[in-house]
Amino acid sequence: MGVREIRYCDLTGTEDGVESHEIHLDQMRIAIDLAAGEYQKLLTVLRPYMDAGRIEASVPDGSSMASRRNEPRRRTTSGLTAEQRQELRQWAEENGIEVPSNNRFSQALVKRWREAHEVPAEEE
């Protein structure tokens, strides 16, 4: 017996021609299922920004979000895991230090947290 997977467009709810896409913005990775027409609209809206920007890198190994879901220790540009970012946030809030809601910590804050918790930078 086989399993049939049905995808619905996250915007319109249609089943026709729906594909999964990933959008990477800042430190967010957004997975969205879109019908072909909705995906083209998204590309049209983003085109001026993509043309004006620089492509820094792409996913070199062709891995997808689905294959990375079981990697809990994935690090960001700060060199911190998700668990470490949560610890940093909690420490900062306990010490009256404002932190951005998007987890984009300044290098100075990361350095202070590492020093306070004796977390070596080499652990990255």
Judge if 28 and 61 occupy the same domain: yes
Residue 9 domain-assigned (yes or no): no
Label residues 94-117 b or e (16+ Cβ within 10 Å = b).
Answer: eeeeebeeebebeeebbebbbeee
Whole-model pTM?
0.43
> Within 10 A of 40 (CB to CB), how many other CB atoms are there?
11
Contacts of 42 (CB under 8 A, 6+ apart): 34
Beta bridge partners of 30: 23
Judge if 24 and 55 occupy the same domain: yes
Residue 63 domain-assigned (yes or no): yes
Residue 10 domain-assigned (yes or no): no
Count up the domains in the chain and report the number.
Answer: 2
| Domain around 90 | 82-123
Residue 5 domain-assigned (yes or no): no
- 58-to-17, 22, 49, 75 alpha-carbon distances in Å: 25, 12, 17, 16
Judge if 88 and 51 occupy the same domain: no
User: What does each of the 124 residues of the chain score in pLDDT, given as a tens digit?
Assistant: 788 888 889 988 988 888 988 888 888 889 999 998 898 999 899 888 887 877 665 544 444 444 444 444 444 566 777 778 888 888 988 998 887 766 677 888 888 888 888 877 644 4
Residue 104 domain-assigned (yes or no): yes
User: Which DSSP letter does residue 121 get?
Assistant: G
